[in-house]
Amino acid sequence: MSNQTFSKSERLTSRKAIANLFEKGTALRIAPIKIIYLSMELDSLSPVQAGFSVPKTIFKRAVDRNLLKRRMREAYRRNKKLLYDGLENSGKQFAIMFIYSKKEVISYEEIEGKIILFMERLITKHVKGS
């Protein structure tokens, strides 16, 4: 079994990187998740740093926000190997923010499918396309 962790070095925590991501990043909407990504130089050796967000304006209860963030993190953690394998020899690093935007809670399987679809699109557009 491969290393399927989501370590601290893979988390998008830098305020500068997040501000830069929202300012210059490319948005992709795969309903109900909006993904903002940017190819940039990161502080870590990890090829990708990811962040997850659920707006308080949509889900007032923290329990619901935390549930959705956990589901997105888990789907990313279990499938990030697709992204890492695609970026392996490209030398690119990406900052990615996943933002949940639907008013209903959806299942883990649906979230996982959307995240896998995004990873495939990112690889074909920015790695194989260049």
Bridge partners of 90, per DSSP, are none
Q: What is the pLDDT of residues 57-71, one digit of tens each?
A: 999 999 999 999 999
- Look at the pTM and tell me if it is higher than 0.75: yes
Phi-psi region of 72 (alpha: psi -120 to 50; beta: other; left: phi over 0): alpha
77 pLDDT band (50/70/90 cuts)?
Answer: very high
CATH number of the 9-128 domain: 3.30.230.10
Q: What is the pLDDT of residues 100-129, one digit of tens each?
A: 999 999 999 999 999 999 999 998 987 666
Domain boundaries, the chain: 9-128
